[in-house]
Homo-oligomer: A and B are copies of this chain.
Amino acid sequence: MNYPNGKKSPARTSYTRNKPDFSNRGMTLEDDIAATNEYYRIANIANIHKKPTPIQIVDVHYPKRSAAVIKEAYFKQASTTDFNGVYRGRYVDFEAKETKNKTSFPLSNIHQHQIDHMKDCHQHGGICFLIVKFTVHDETYLFPAENLFSYWEGQLNGGRKSIPYLDIKEIGIVLDFHFQARVDYAKAIDKLYF
């Protein structure tokens, strides 16, 4: 990728990402969702994007004849979930998490503000869910926010601090790997919400 000023982009770091190339399996869940979103966009299925990480910028330099350089900045906590967009006229909003755990998904992966945001969007008629990948089983599920809320409340009232794997398997919808739609959540939305 080149910058508007013609300079080559800086070396890739773990924070940067090239365009998904639809070829490699075994990438992170986030890579797989990025590839899926790109496919959905190109195939006219949906328009879903990951929101950029919010950054608090403190100091910017403006060198002559080259791009502005941010010299001091900090990560801010997002007030929303990571992904949103539109599918079949509906607002879609979700968070994606991987766990190495075999038997349950620890609720510590989710933050209160993400629950608040999903509750709010759900109340306004949005389709909200969690995508959970159990890396050990190599299985990925769509888990509806309505169900997530119950486990969250349970935890706040002294209940268990995780969602059992078997509950996710039973309540959620397994997302099969396809060549282009690696995490084919749109099909799961069809089943659950249309």
Contact = CB atoms under 8 A, between A and B. Distances in A.
A68 B125 CA distance: 37
A47 B126 contact: yes
B52 A86 contact: no
Contact of A120 (B41, B56, B80): B41
B52 A53 contact: yes
A99 interface: no
B68 A75 contact: yes
Contact of A91 (B52, B53, B79, B86): B86
A71 B67 CA distance: 15
A117 B47 contact: yes
Given A73-B73, A74-B67, A58 B124 contact: no
B91 A9 contact: no
Contacts of A164: none
A24 interface: no
A52 B49 contact: no
Nearest to A15: B57
A11 interface: yes
Contact of A121 (B9, B47, B56, B117): B47
Interface in A78-94: 78-80, 84-93
Interface of A: 3-4, 9-11, 13, 15-16, 41, 44, 46-47, 49, 51-60, 67-75, 77-80, 84-93, 117, 120-121, 123-126
